[in-house]
Structure 1
Amino acid sequence: MAKYMDVHYGMKHITADQLMAAHKADLEIEAEERVHFERAWADPASGTVYCLSEAPSAEAVQRIHTRTGHPASEIHPVPISV
């Protein structure tokens, strides 16, 4: 499975509780697309949220995010990590 980093814009003032709720919503249905969301980060000042996942494709990641109401603005493959 490949790793992906996706980016969401326009989530200004997101709180830790809201980030956790969005992440949990993804986790609840991720298996339907064989995706696993590993972690999420947010910058409330800029409204940018980042999610790291393992998935069969970027499209699978987007389908989960769309179904939970927060489609990604960008999805990037992460072919190398240390």
Structure 2
Amino acid sequence: MTKFMDVHHGMTGLTGDQLREAHEADLAIQDQEGVVFEHTWADPESGTVYCLSEAPDADAVQRIHERAGHRADEVHCVTLAL
């Protein structure tokens, strides 16, 4: 499987509870697309959220986010890491 970093914009003022709820919504259905969401970060001031996952492809990541109610603005393949 490949690692992906996706980015959500426009989530200004997001709380820790809201971030947790959104992440749990992804986790609840991730198996249906073979996705494993590993970690999520947010900057409530800028409204930017980042999610790290492993998935068969970027479309699978996006489908989970769409079904969970928070479509990603960007999905990037990250194949090189230290």
1:54 alignment partner in structure 2: 54
Q: Kindly provide the amino acid, as one letter, of the partner of residue 51 in structure 1.
A: C
Q: Structure 1 segments of 4 or more deviating over 4 A?
A: none
Q: Kindly provide the amino acid, as one letter, of the partner of residue 13 in structure 1.
A: G
Equivalence map 1:1-80=2 (5 Å)? 1-80=1-80
**Identical amino acids, percent of aligned pairs:** 62
Unaligned runs of 5+ in 2: none
CA deviation after TM superposition for structure 1 residue 70, in Å: 0.2
Q: Kindly provide the amino acid, as one letter, of the partner of residue 46 in structure 1.
A: S
Q: Distance in 1 between matches of 2:22 and 2:40?
A: 9
Q: Kindly provide the amino acid, as one letter, of the partner of residue 30 in structure 2.
A: E
Q: Distance in 2 between matches of 1:10 and 1:44?
A: 9
Q: Kindly provide the amino acid, as one letter, of the partner of residue 31 in structure 1.
A: D
Task: Give secondary structure in 2 for the equivalent of 1:10.
Answer: coil
| Structure 1 vs Structure 2 CA RMSD | 0.4
Q: Distance in 1 between matches of 2:81 and 2:62?
A: 22
